[in-house]
Structure 1
Amino acid sequence: MTEAPSQQQYDFIIVGAGSAGCVLAERLTRSGRHRVLLLEAGGSDRKFWIKLPVGYAVTFARAALNWGDHAAPDVALNGRSIYWPRGRVVGGSSSINAMAYVRGLPHDFDDWARAGAEGWNWTKARDTYQALETHSDGTGDGPVWVQDLSDQMHPFSDRFLQAAQEAGLGTAKDMNAEGAEGLSHYRSTVRGGMRWSSADAFLRPALRRPNLTLLTRAEVQGLDLEGARVVGLQYTRGGQRCTARAGEVILSAGAINSPQLLQLSGIGPADLLREHGIEVRHNLPQVGEGLQDHLAISWQFHAREQTLNAVLGTLSGRLRAGAAYALTRRGPLSVPVNQIGGFVRSGADAQAPNLQLFCNPASYEITPKGKVVMDRQQGYLLSAQPCRPTSRGRIRIRSADPRERPLIEANSLATPEDRGMAVRASRVLQRLAETPALKAVTSGCKTKGFADIEDEALLEAFRARASTVYHPTCTCRMGEGPQDSVVDGRLRVHGLAGLRVVDASAFPNITSGNTNAPTMMLAARAADLILQDSS
């Protein structure tokens, strides 16, 4: 971290040291020719609970590390206001997420290209992933460590793989392999028994370079424009208001904060800006529109044999696991709780995998405020999310005050397709739960009668209990022009010079799985485009 004067000039200013911003900071400073300022609203990620893989059960709700947003009451989810945690710390959400490394399915990215994001098809995405990754089997030489932790996963997890075979879902060696389908061991961004965030992979090496300045606890207030060009921004830090200028400003603040900053700066839907007394500097109606997220339904079961609850659900178990971890950096505390999962088809009529499953050898509850409460008795969890929802919501500022969090309107289950997939998701879990492999070790479902629930009741259960999987995307999406998007295929904001958006908000459509890996991939490709345009 470097102290900065009240006015500064840079080649690039990056807003947000998260999954995307850390990638950009490393790549844009590598040649030594460009001065880069990286602004992060949160503080340091050098904290025990961040580095400990199972520690996200704590950071998930810790106010010091988290924006702590809640979506607006969602009519389709029985009026519930769902907790939407997003990282407010170096590393962003890659410092508080569940560490699942999931590329997504090839057609996700071909769909991006068809949506107007020229140059973002699967071939380009695959090549970028391969350059980014190092796998624990020794393949690859990129900065992102992708760990196979199957040798440390709880023995109960093998039950899920056996059940997948019995249910006709199949298994795969690695869900990230091209064409893979079925359940497998999740790959994780864990290295040496500790979280390996975007900050670890990209930012730490970059901070050794004199041409990168990282400022934490720096809250951006708005962008500065001269005509149709963004020339810098205003931020506050330590009670001081500062101005920074640059040849280009890059918003990597995430799918909630990036559209908020644009709207606060007078870039967005004109009617919304006028409503809050903000001068319309650039009418761009799609800013904040198009929000997509994954919703998952979880069903939990009581187990007859030992699960992770024996370790994490008791003080003595946690103490034993802690001692083992301190000595070896291995064991239950070094493995994220999402252990088995993958992409499956909801039925024989599905043309491609359209559900992602999560199978955890533990049962627990998450309170409305985000606290994770582990069951004391043995149990496990089966969860399914429809991969490609068609409903879209939006992000809108509530006022002209940057300190006020924006309105998140998820607009869940707004289409017949999404309501149908909600039912099909639970149908697949019913099938899995009824396999001999799981019935042999199950004493019952925590929700009585789960095996016999019919479609209408399954949809009502989804409305009552489903929740976000914390994958907000698409609120500044790529596309052909301002009529359908916010940025072009090179991540430049339509109609403005000197401004790009590079984070998950730029996804044209949500990918089929977890969004951290695609966000890093997007940032790596974007950095190459930025450097091409600046040469």
Structure 2
Amino acid sequence: MGAVAFDYIIVGAGSAGCVLANRLSANGKHSVLLLEAGRNDRSLLVQIPVCWTQVAYHDDFNWGYAAEAEASTANRRMAWPRGKVIGGSSSINGMIHVRGHRDDFNAWRDAGCEGWDWDGVLPYFERSECHAGENHAGPALNIRDIEHSEAGDLFLASCKAYGLAALDDFNQGEQEGAGYYKCAIANGRRQSTSVCYLKPAQKRANLEMLSGALCERIIFAGTRATGVRVNRGGEQFTYGANCEVIIAAGAVNSPQLLQLSGVGPLDLLQRHGIAPVHALQGVGRNLKDHLGTMVGYQIEAVPAIYHDMKPLGLVKQLYRYMRHRSGLLSMPATQVGGFYRSSDSRQRPDIQLYFLPVSGARDENNQNQIDKDPSVTGMILHLLPESAGTVMIKSVKPDEAPAINTNYLATEYDRDAQLQGFKKLREIFRQKPIADHCKVELRPGKHIQSDDEILDFVRCEATTGYHPVGTCKMGVDDQAVVDTALRVRGCQGLRVVDASIMPDIVAGNTNAATVMIAEKASDMILADAR
């Protein structure tokens, strides 16, 4: 008896996969199988926004990856959370919605990716977003304004005093300035692609969803993808694809699956005894991420999360959430922030700024430990890194994590951008009115002053921005893995649709751009099916 067959098999029910599942099944003409290695997303930890700090590092919802120890980050095995749950990383992220700068996408076009410039992608951003008060046709992320706070207002006033202009919306192609972010939260609940795209489509007869299903390899006939082999509950199943297999497993798992299936660097395949289907040197290379560094300050005479965590404060916040779906429990990863240049020589902002009314650190078990005094955090992300890393399999075992070599801070520019961005962050905290309330620097502390001391602090304490991209990059050069229609080069019936196809990282939180990619890809896939 032959394998059960579907027109389209989507590997990964994450930020991109849920979008694809909805769009490809919408006309009722095509049968679609959506595979997710993780569990369902019904837990309140997933749905209540403030719980993202717990769920992102929770074994039930996270692949549990760690980057390889490297000298550039003080030989730490930095935790690298990626979503292993329906909705993928859109179910565990901080819910900040930033499209990126127009020049990000124009640079993609200039590198040979025709149709992916700002004007080409803007309609898909707009299609993927439903803002308050809009009469939006079709599925989309529900995007809302973030609730204002006294601490946030004070920090923005200091950003203005420093010279950052007020900006109401970071999503119109230009970013320089400071303001409140937009977020993927509505009615006090996380708005993941599972909630906004998959759930409205789940009752369709032509869409089948399987969770707890680890795709072990793509099945090929020559260089044509014809199906997948899946492990579910320790039992192996084979599913056939009449039209295409679409890998949407993310910047870590997508290159891993290609390599396990015989598509990747020839020397890597040979080293692991994998029969090559098609040698593609770029699979697993070009890994980019935003490296983030934080400062923490005590805050006086201003409400902070510290006060909300006291017994009376918690009662008040629970009431606010239950009654109004507002307050602490509805809060995303940050409230306010902005974009600025690490140096006047930069043509556009290369630093993203976060501010949040709490401070603390993670212990050795990745559990949040809030500071014992009222405190706040400022964080910078370097947005345009030159350094690129790799994701490469360690063995032929599908359930063994690949080696993630981040190669952070490998260039002088990357180190200088972190250094100068950090200095400017400190300078913002020296501006009134926030300076009147934040007089004691908790971390790294006022004793850290020289350039060498600051860079050493960055190496020891900087963390992932949770934005890995680029490991199956789109393009026309010899490192490109997919073409501009996201078809895997040298193969047939196989595409990659997720953050891994970005030729270079976008200047902002990457989930919005990933959803856009899936929206645009769905149109291309359906056009090819006509």
TM-score range, shorter chain: over 0.9
Aligned ranges 1:247-262 → 2 under 5 Å: 247-262=243-258
Cα deviation per residue 1:181-239 (whole Å; 9 max; x = unaligned)? 21111111001110010111110111121100000000111010101101001001123
Cα deviation per residue 1:281-329 (whole Å; 9 max; x = unaligned)? 2111111011000001100000112343334543443343123212221
For the residues of structure 2 that align with 1:491 and 1:137, how far apart are their CA atoms? 34
What's the offset of the Cα at 1:374? 1.8
What's the offset of the Cα at 1:336? 1.2
Of the three residues 493, 505, 509, the one matched with 1:510 is: 505
SS in 2 for 1:64: coil
Aligned ranges 1:173-322 → 2 under 5 Å: 173-246=168-241, 247-322=243-318
> TM-score, with normalisation over the residues of structure 1?
0.96
> TM-score, with normalisation over the residues of structure 2?
0.97
Corresponding residue number in structure 2 for 1:105: 101
SS in 2 for 1:436: coil
Aligned ranges 1:132-531 → 2 under 5 Å: 132-138=128-134, 140-141=136-137, 143-149=140-146, 152-246=147-241, 247-447=243-443, 450=446, 453-481=449-477, 483-531=478-526
Amino acid at match of 1:263: Q
SS in 2 for 1:241: strand
What's the offset of the Cα at 1:455? 2.2
Task: State whether residues 387 and 409 of structure 2, in contact with CA within 8 Å, keep that contact through their aligned partners in structure 1.
Answer: yes
Corresponding residue number in structure 1 for 2:33: 37
What's the offset of the Cα at 1:65? 0.6
CA-atom RMSD, angstroms?
1.6
Amino acid at match of 1:145: N
What's the offset of the Cα at 1:279? 1.3
For the residues of structure 2 that align with 1:305 and 1:105, how far apart are their CA atoms? 37
SS in 1 for 2:97: coil
Corresponding residue number in structure 2 for 1:131: 127
What's the offset of the Cα at 1:274? 1.4
For the residues of structure 2 that align with 1:208 and 1:448, how far apart are their CA atoms? 52
Corresponding residue number in structure 2 for 1:78: 74
For the residues of structure 1 that align with 2:411 and 2:28, how far apart are their CA atoms? 50
Task: State whether residues 297 and 425 of structure 1, in contact with CA within 8 Å, keep that contact through their aligned partners in structure 2.
Answer: no
Q: Larger deviation: 449-458 or 130-139? A: 449-458
For the residues of structure 1 that align with 2:165 and 2:237, how far apart are their CA atoms? 56
Change in Cα spacing, 1:287 to 1:450, as seen in structure 2 (3 Å) is: same
Corresponding residue number in structure 2 for 1:16: 12
Q: Which runs of 4+ in 1 moved over 6 A?
A: none
For the residues of structure 2 that align with 1:430 and 1:300, how far apart are their CA atoms? 10
For the residues of structure 2 that align with 1:373 and 1:274, how far apart are their CA atoms? 45
Answering whether residue 529 of structure 2 is matched by residue 534 of structure 1, we say: yes
Amino acid at match of 1:478: M
For the residues of structure 2 that align with 1:469 and 1:314, how far apart are their CA atoms? 29
Amino acid at match of 1:497: Q
Task: State whether residues 309 and 375 of structure 1, in contact with CA within 8 Å, keep that contact through their aligned partners in structure 2.
Answer: no
Change in Cα spacing, 1:235 to 1:296, as seen in structure 2 (3 Å) is: same
Count of residues paired in the alignment:
528
Change in Cα spacing, 1:16 to 1:436, as seen in structure 2 (3 Å) is: same
For the residues of structure 2 that align with 1:237 and 1:6, how far apart are their CA atoms? 18
Task: State whether residues 6 and 242 of structure 1, in contact with CA within 8 Å, keep that contact through their aligned partners in structure 2.
Answer: no
5+ residue gaps, structure 2, are none
Task: State whether residues 98 and 182 of structure 2, in contact with CA within 8 Å, keep that contact through their aligned partners in structure 1.
Answer: yes
